[in-house]
Amino acid sequence: MTRKDQNFYLILLAPAILVLLLFIATPVGQSFFLSFHRIIIGLPQLGTPFVGWDNYQELLNDPVARHSFWITVIFVGTTTFFELLIGLLLALLMHHRFPGRGALRVCVLIPWAVPTVVSAQMWRFLLNDAYGVVNYAIFGAETIRYIPWLALPSTALLSIIIADIWKTSSFAALLILAGLQIIPEQLYQAAEVDGASAWRRFWHITWPLIRPAILVALVFRTIDAFRVFDLAFVMTQGGPADATNVLQLYGYKKMFVEGWMGYGSAISVCIFIIVMVLAIMYVRMVGRRLLEARV
């Protein structure tokens, strides 16, 4: 590639770079700036004194923040694993030719197309202890027994995990299906001629060739799950007893409910750094896998 071509490509990319700087770099920079100040929205007379790293030191010593971090890690790990597993199974099913395959693909993608707030409200109704369909299916209409899914710390986190898996497994399935469709059919035909079983064809042909697609799905789902907010906000408001108080929701409460703008900005900056580190690690991993696949 000549220097002239590089300059031409940079000119083409310039508008997109400017938009990114305007709508991403500016808010991030503002959050960094606010995180080094003590700002209380309800007490403007106190001003905005510079406090340096005090907000971050307070965050490290905050037991609720540590609890929210581990709740977020549990949520991310559990949902990502099951979404990739279910997405792989759905992708393998949709990849086969059978009558009604098109209708199945549409049905699988419906949960992903539903806005998160809508799906969260739907699951809130389904899991309601008084009139929820889930309790009705388990105990029937005649019994007085029920499970308060969203009111118990032991089941509230499980509830939002199930809701997230239901919604976003189809997204992982879509990415993995794209990887399946680029595998040449001749490879399966040759393996079948050689007497390879279905499991051997999957393990030695399908799995190595769809690993880049799975890694791409892993990147998107991990980053998106770490930023979860609306699901917990609508279904449980972070309760009960902070059982679903994920880190993003905790930062929202500190910033907009309690009015601690500087401290809430420090939480947002930490989330941004964690997500950025994960993105860099995953992008390098995906790039390495893609190079291996080409070789």
We report the CATH number of the domain holding residue 196 as 1.10.3720.10
**Contact by Cβ (8 Å): 248, 178:** no
Count: domains in the chain: 1
Within a 10 A sphere around the Cβ of 227, how many other Cβ atoms?
Answer: 17
Is residue 51 domain-resident? no
Question: In terms of pLDDT, which residue wins out, 293 or 102?
Answer: 102
Residue 132 confidence (pLDDT):
85
Residue 293 confidence (pLDDT):
54
Q: Taking the mean position of all CA atoms in its chain, how far away is CA 242?
A: 20
Please identify which residue in the block is written with the tokens 């027994």: 145
Model confidence pLDDT, tens digit, residues 186-209: 888 888 888 888 889 888 888 888
Residue 35 confidence (pLDDT):
92
Is residue 43 domain-resident? no
- Label residue 46 by pLDDT band (50, 70, 90): confident
Q: What is the mean pLDDT of residues 48-62?
A: 92
Residue 72 confidence (pLDDT):
94
Is residue 281 domain-resident? yes
Q: Does 290 have pLDDT greater than 70?
A: no
Supply the pTM of this predicted model: 0.88
Range of the domain at 142: 64-294
Is residue 14 domain-resident? no
Mean pLDDT of the chain: 87
Is residue 97 domain-resident? yes
Is residue 232 domain-resident? yes
Q: Report H helices in the chain.
A: 3-20, 26-35, 54-60, 63-95, 101-113, 116-126, 133-139, 153-180, 185-193, 198-201, 207-226, 230-235, 247-252, 261-294
**C-alpha separations of 182 from 187, 204, 292 in Å:** 11, 16, 16
- Label residue 55 by pLDDT band (50, 70, 90): very high
Is residue 76 domain-resident? yes
Is residue 135 domain-resident? yes
Q: Does 98 have pLDDT greater than 90?
A: no
Q: What is the mean pLDDT of residues 8-28?
A: 85
Question: Which range is least confidently modeled, 94-98, 120-124, 150-154, 244-248?
Answer: 94-98
**Contact by Cβ (8 Å): 191, 279:** no
Model confidence pLDDT, tens digit, residues 197-254: 888 988 888 888 888 888 888 888 888 898 899 999 999 999 888 999 999 999 999 9
